[in-house]
Structure 1
Amino acid sequence: MKFVAQVQLLPASAPDADALAATLRACNRAANWVSAVAHTRDLKRRNELQRAVYHDTKSAFGLAAQPAVRVIKKVVDAYATLSANIRAGNLGPEGSSRRRRAESKPVRFREDAAQPYDDRILTWNLDARTVSVWTVAGRIKGIPFVCSPGTLGLLARRKGESDLVMRDGMFFLIATIDVPEPAAYEPRGWLGVDLGIVNIATTSDGRIMSGRKINRYRERHRDLRAKLQKKRSKSATRALKRLRRREARHSAQHNHIIAKKIVHTAERTSRGVALEDLGGIRQRVTAKKDQRSKLHSWAFAQLGAFVEYKARRAGVPVLFVDPRNTSRQCSECRHTHRTNRVSQARFACRSCGVVLHADHNGSRNIRRRADAVWKRGAVNRPRTAAR
């Protein structure tokens, strides 16, 4: 299975940092020019496009041979991704109009967009924690990098390309790591997990992981965004970008912690993890106006992906079940009715009279459905496809 490792570069001097920034600008300007040629002349295959633009890309933008090849490959990959999204219909509700717009103009790259490096133009020294990087000002050797001990251990398995990224004036290298995936064990049962907004995750063991803290954090950021948007200044725009990334990092960290707890509990008790298959829920579910921001900022897909990859890494089986009526069905007598859900937090069965926390009831239904699917033999092994 593949992981993404990120390290931060610490250029020793301002000229080194300027050289890295100038390299990104040159590569992305070259990519925009190559993209325009590819769109105008309909050259979307790598060999054809490289024959047409290789020498001009080197001479016009001051690139060496291998960086020019990487730029051309980046453009080809961008068009391949666009074509795949068009075929799959992944262009949102206005798919037809967005498709026409996408096909009518070339793919564009920001001047600070990531640039891929291969082993010919980027060398890692893990013992010294330094890298040697090609730039438009020449090769810079011995640039220190910092990362966690776990990431350093993963980098020993690094293969293929690494991406040079600049964010907020800082430089990062993002590498893809290929780690052997252990075989999933035979579960002795299932840990049902109900995902929600008020309570981010509730397990069938009765453990509730509240979303109160993260929701308050998002509300503060939403109010601050509204104030900054009214200013309409360049400094406010920069602050909005910083806030957006900060909120995304905070949410991801929170989801990592919850996913780790869920997987650790399942592994410790030799159970599998059962989740609801919530694909397309935003299109199916309607919400009141004051609840829409909470619904659309709900990072359930990210949390599900974190649980899935952490479980696969630990050899814990994962099963996705049908989410229909998990909140309306009684986990004791299986009576299903919308009035069973008295409130957001309270479930009271109209048939047998059992009273439970609503999310705990839902997680028990998820566990029971996972048991039924497993016993029938319709086993859904840990999925590798991204949702």
Structure 2
Amino acid sequence: MKIVVQVKLLPSPEVATALSTTLHACNRAADIVSGVAYETGITSRNELQRVVYARLKTEFRLAAQPAVRTVKKVVDAYTTLSANIRAGGLGPQGSNRRRRAESKPIRFRSDAAQPYDDRILSWQHEARTVSIWTLAGRMKGVPFAGFPDHLAMLAKYRQGESDLVYRGGMWFLIAVCEVPQAPLDVDPVDWIGVDRGIANLATTSDGDNYQGRRLARYRRWNARKRAELQAKHTRSATRRVKRRAKREARHATHVNHKISKEIVAVARRTGRGIALEELSGIRDRVRPSRDQRAALFS
């Protein structure tokens, strides 16, 4: 089972400057690689690397592994775009959204995440520091912090690449941990029934009731704020609407995750399974009024 662990870097001002310069250079390089991939139609990582490798090293001063990781980042981005198009995520052939996506190279934000592998990033778990490559040289002894259980999982199960991320004025490393999955209980002694709803997010057959009043109030408040911003019809307001919508989605996911963890913990402790009501196709089976649509389908 793959679990993503995030830790916060605590760099000095000098190290933070080096990280920022490196991140911007890697993403400028990624834009160049993306342009080459778009113009030539090359989708193979090895072929694309042969075309741009020397330029990345001379023009952007990237070392061997950062250059390889940058090319891989671009190839992965185009692979994701192609998969999204095939799945219909950008609309049918000829739609405006799909045409815009296909008519220009993929661009990378100046502070977009940059992947690091074990050759350019090493972890010292006992000291809680990392050694990380930058354009200014190898930065050693950069401290990091995180939740104790996350740090223990990181030390024991981390695998593969880690992403360097700059967000909200702070630096993070995001790593993937391959955690062994607990064996599935295929013969539970009983079942916990879970009924999902709107007023009550979940109600179990044990009588536990997880109310959704606070989440509903939060959604209504966000809806009013989005309406106020949308009425301004400015680009800044549009950006703020998108940020607010993402924040609301993250909060709802967090609330649902907490509820599901509590129910799973009870089932595991009592040796029971979990039975959920069948809700697939509910959008086709009901015809809600306009006022009910946001509550039912959000």
TM-score after normalising by structure 1: 0.69
CA distance 1:122–1:205, change in 2 (3 Å): same
CA deviations on 1:1-51 (whole Å, 9 max, x unpaired) are 1100011111122x3222222222221121121111111101001111111
Deviation (angstroms), 1:137:
2.4
SS in 1 for 2:161: strand
- 2:92 matched residue in structure 1: 95
Deviation (angstroms), 1:294:
2.7
- 2:222 matched residue in structure 1: 221
> 2 CA distance for matches of 1:111 and 1:283?
43
Listed as ranges, the matches of 1:58-77 within 5 Å are 58-77=57-76
- 1:192 matched residue in structure 2: 193
Q: 1:138 corresponds to which letter in structure 2?
A: G
SS in 2 for 1:155: helix
> 1 CA distance for matches of 2:287 and 2:44?
43
CA distance 1:295–1:37, change in 2 (3 Å): farther
Q: 1:35 corresponds to which letter in structure 2?
A: S
Listed as ranges, the matches of 1:60-139 within 5 Å are 60-91=59-90, 94-96=91-93, 97=95, 98-139=97-138
Deviation (angstroms), 1:247:
3.2
Listed as ranges, the matches of 1:9-20 within 5 Å are 9-13=9-13, 15-20=14-19
Q: 1:170 corresponds to which letter in structure 2?
A: M
- 1:155 matched residue in structure 2: 154
- 2:165 matched residue in structure 1: 165
CA deviations on 1:338-368 (whole Å, 9 max, x unpaired) are xxxxxxxxxxxxxxxxxxxxxxxxxxxxxxx
- Aligned residue pairs total 294
> 1 CA distance for matches of 2:145 and 2:66?
25
CA distance 1:62–1:280, change in 2 (3 Å): farther
Specify every segment of 5 or more residues in structure 2 that has no aligned partner in the other structure, as ranges. none
Specify every segment of 5 or more residues in structure 1 that has no aligned partner in the other structure, as ranges. 298-387
Listed as ranges, the matches of 1:268-283 within 5 Å are 268-276=269-277, 278=279
SS in 2 for 1:95: coil
SS in 2 for 1:197: coil
CA deviations on 1:114-149 (whole Å, 9 max, x unpaired) are 111101111111111111111222222222111111
> 1 CA distance for matches of 2:205 and 2:266?
11
> 2 CA distance for matches of 1:229 and 1:129?
45
> 1 CA distance for matches of 2:172 and 2:121?
13
Q: CA RMSD in A?
A: 2.5
CA distance 1:20–1:269, change in 2 (3 Å): same
CA deviations on 1:41-90 (whole Å, 9 max, x unpaired) are 01001111111111112222232111110010011111112222233334
Q: 1:165 corresponds to which letter in structure 2?
A: V
